[in-house]
Chains A and B, each alone.
Chain A
Amino acid sequence: MIKKKVCMLGSFAVGKTSLVRQFVQGIFSDKYLTTVGVKIDKKTIELAGEEVQMMLWDIAGEDGFQRIQTTYLRGMAGYILVVDGTRRSTLEEAKNIFLRIDEMDIGSVPHVVFLNKIDLTDEWELKGEDIASLNEIEARAFKTSAKTNEGLEEGFLNLAEMMVKQG
């Protein structure tokens, strides 16, 4: 079985933990409980008849005081930048994380962007040009909702495909 390490990255409260929980356990909670350190989960998916085990590292989000602990990133085959579509500033923060990883000199690592909380249409802040600006970081974006499960399968599978292709 192919095993791949995937890191969930982004600002605090964008929905990293909720996305993993929905993807792995199929449940969602409205209650916010911030992550300290890292929590690791596994999910096996099927890709073109082959099993791929994704080892999901749900890492504490960045805030004004705390940057991502880079030791957690070692050995990752791919990562997901999570943006909270109802908080526009989290998009810039995600781009910054990409730039820092790019500087780490670990080669090009497959990654996708999740524009999360798409179910909150009334509060949605991202415009077309914001999404287009993701070209800068060479990332495909998926509109997701950890609440309704929208876009998760597609997003995770897309990343898995990229990681498997990369070898």
Chain B
Amino acid sequence: MRDLPQAVTDYIFGLTIEATRKRSPAYLLGDGEGRLIEFGGKLALYGINNPELGVHIDQQVEYLAGFLPLEGEPVVLPCLKCGDGVSTDLHIFSGEGGDWILFLESTEIEATQQEIQQHAHELSLNKEKQSRMLSQFLGDQVAQGLEDGKFDIKKGGERRNLTILFADIRDFTPFSENHSPQAVFRTLNIYIRSMMETLAGEASSLNAIVGDQVMAVFGIFSAAASHQFRAVGASLKMIEKVNELYEERKRWNLPALRIGIGVSSGPVAIGILGTKERKTLTVIGHYVNLAARLQSLASPGEILIDKNTYDNIRSYRRFFSPTTLECKGIVSPVKTFSNMGKN
């Protein structure tokens, strides 16, 4: 601080001393062999009662064993708690007279830090949980399939005719803002689980859960029925399951939400991304965007499908009727079909 004027440094020191005084400073002084030769301040606050001069400090404050005599640099032990003592920032430093041990109360600092840390950790735990659930449902299966060469996808990627499904929980964002993170994730887990279980039974290969959204790709595993048929079958089942959940939760007075689904079908680029340990399939293209867009336009309980899908679902056609939508970002008007029969 040499480049600051004396008046400024004096002022800063004044601030520091004032702030520090509020933190109930207390101290111990040890001689070259760690025996107590002086003490002062509210030591009882830190759980140190009746200090005895001449006795080794680490016999009186057991946790200091190994710290005294101090050799070299000062040591700081932030937010230390022991017994019934309050949280303290402990500073150990050599100075005039021997080794000084300074106690400064850190209850407030700790409380602030605690709040931030708790929030961050809970958030990370929830994120981890979500991605674990993903691999639990299909990640491993897809990864294994890739390993065994079950799906013959060319290394460099290729174009394939596939069906893409997007489903999300309607009105989840306002819901999540009005409930505790615990409640949000509990509800999210129940819903995502219900959607995923349906998908897993339909030979889809699942790509992602992003927040309150699920994406699935049909047509990678070979199966008897067309991928469009299976995707729409899965959609109808998902809606049915979630509707049951919705009614049930309403009966119990629990937060009840519904989902919207978008399905689209056509040629997309498919490739393998990832490392040796963890491979994932990725799809890119117009039809992926279209499915996502349709999903975003679907009302609660609604399935919106494009014409390519509609043309290939035979007996399921009776559930759908044409609807007109404004599809932002997609140039030509899209023929769309809905299970909710609106025009």
Q: Footprint of B on A, CB under 8 Å?
A: 3, 5, 12-13, 32-34, 36-40, 42, 55, 57, 60, 63-66, 69, 71-72, 74-76, 87, 89, 125
> B113–A3 contact, CB under 8 A?
no
**30 CB < 8 A contacts A-B:** A3-B65, A5-B63, A12-B121, A12-B124, A32-B118, A33-B114, A34-B118, A34-B121, A36-B113, A36-B114, A36-B117, A37-B87, A38-B80, A39-B80, A39-B81, A40-B82, A40-B83, A42-B62, A55-B63, A57-B63, A63-B121, A65-B120, A69-B77, A71-B76, A71-B77, A72-B77, A74-B66, A74-B75, A87-B128, A89-B128
B110, A5: Cβ atoms under 8 Å?
A: no
- Contact present for B65 and A37 (CB under 8 Å): no
> What is the CB-to-nearest-CB distance from A123 to chain B, in angstroms, rounded to a whole number?
8
- The reply on B8 being an interface residue by CB < 8 A is no
A87-B131 Cα distance, complex, nearest whole Å: 11
* Bound: A55/B65 CA distance, A: 10
Partner of B122, one of A32, A42, A71: A32
B128: which A residues are within 8 A, CB to CB? 87, 89
CA distance A74 to B121 in the complex (A): 27
CA distance A74 to B67 in the complex (A): 7
User: Is B313 at the interface (CB under 8 A from chain A)?
Assistant: no
- With both beta carbons as reference points, the residue of chain B lying nearest to A70 in the complex is identified as B75
Interface pair B79/A36, CB less than 8 Å apart: yes
Report the count of interface residues on B (CB-CB < 8 A).
Answer: 28
Residue of A nearest to B65 (CB): A75
**Whole-angstrom distance between the alpha carbons of A78 and B79 in the complex?**
22
Complex contacts, A74 vs chain B, CB 8 Å: 66-67, 75
| Top 7 A-B pairs, shortest CB-CB distance | A75-B66, A37-B79, A40-B82, A39-B81, A36-B113, A36-B110, A71-B75
Judge whether B78 is part of the interface by a CB distance below 8 angstroms.
yes
Q: Is the CB of A38 within 8 A of B77?
A: yes
Chain A nearest CB: distance from B46 CB in Å? 12
Interface residues of B in 30-54 (CB under 8 A from A): none
Identify the B interface with A (CB < 8 A): 62-63, 65-67, 75-83, 87, 106, 110, 113-114, 117-118, 120-122, 124-125, 128, 132
B121 x A75 contact (CB < 8 A): no
Distance in Å: Cβ of A42 to nearest Cβ of chain B: 8
Q: Is the CB of B77 within 8 A of A13?
A: no
Given contacts A5-B65, A36-B110, 7 further A-B contacts (CB under 8 A): A13-B121, A36-B79, A38-B81, A40-B63, A40-B80, A40-B83, A69-B78
Q: Kindly provide the distance from the CB of A22 to the nearest chain B CB, expressed in whole angstroms.
A: 18
A63 — which chain B residues lie within 8 A by C-beta? 117, 120-121, 124
Count, A-B residue pairs, CB within 8 A: 76
Given that A74-B67, A75-B66 are known contacts, is A33 also in contact with B78, CB under 8 Å in the complex? no
Q: Which of A3, A36, A125 is close to B62, meaning CB atoms less than 8 Å apart? A: A3
A14 CB to nearest chain B CB (Å): 11
Give Cα A63–Cα B121 distance, bound, in whole angstroms.
8
Residues of chain A within 8 A (CB-CB) of B80 are 37-40
Interchain nearest-CB distance for A104 vs B (Å): 14
Q: A125 to chain B: which residues have CB within 8 Å?
A: 132
For A87, what are the chain B residues with a Cβ–Cβ distance below 8 Å? 128, 132
Please indicate the chain A residues that have their CB under 8 angstroms from the CB of B76 in the complex.
71
Chain A residues with CB below 8 A from B132, complex form:
87, 125
Given known pairs A32-B122, A75-B65, A75-B67, the reply for A38 and B79 (CB within 8 Å) is: yes
By beta carbon, the residue of chain B nearest A76 is B66
What chain A residues lie within 8 Å of B124 (beta carbons)?
12, 63-64
A36 and B242 alpha carbons, distance in the complex (Å): 41
Bound state CA distance, A74 and B74, in angstroms? Answer: 13
With both chains docked as a complex, state the minimum distance between the C-beta of A144 and any C-beta of chain B, in angstroms. Answer: 19
- Residues of B contacting A37 with CB < 8 Å? 77-81, 87, 106, 110
A54–B122 CA distance with the chains assembled, in angstroms: 31
In whole angstroms, what is the CA distance A5 to B65 when docked? Answer: 8
Q: How far is the CB of A35 from chain B (nearest CB, A)?
A: 9
Chain A hits for B67, CB < 8 A: 74-75
Complex contacts, A89 vs chain B, CB 8 Å: 128
**Contact between B82 and A39 (Cβ–Cβ < 8 Å)?**
yes
**Contact partners of A75 in chain B: CB under 8 A:** 65-67
B79 and chain A: residue at smallest CB distance: A37
Q: Contacts A74-B75, A87-B128 given; indicate if A34 touches B117 (C-beta within 8 A).
A: yes
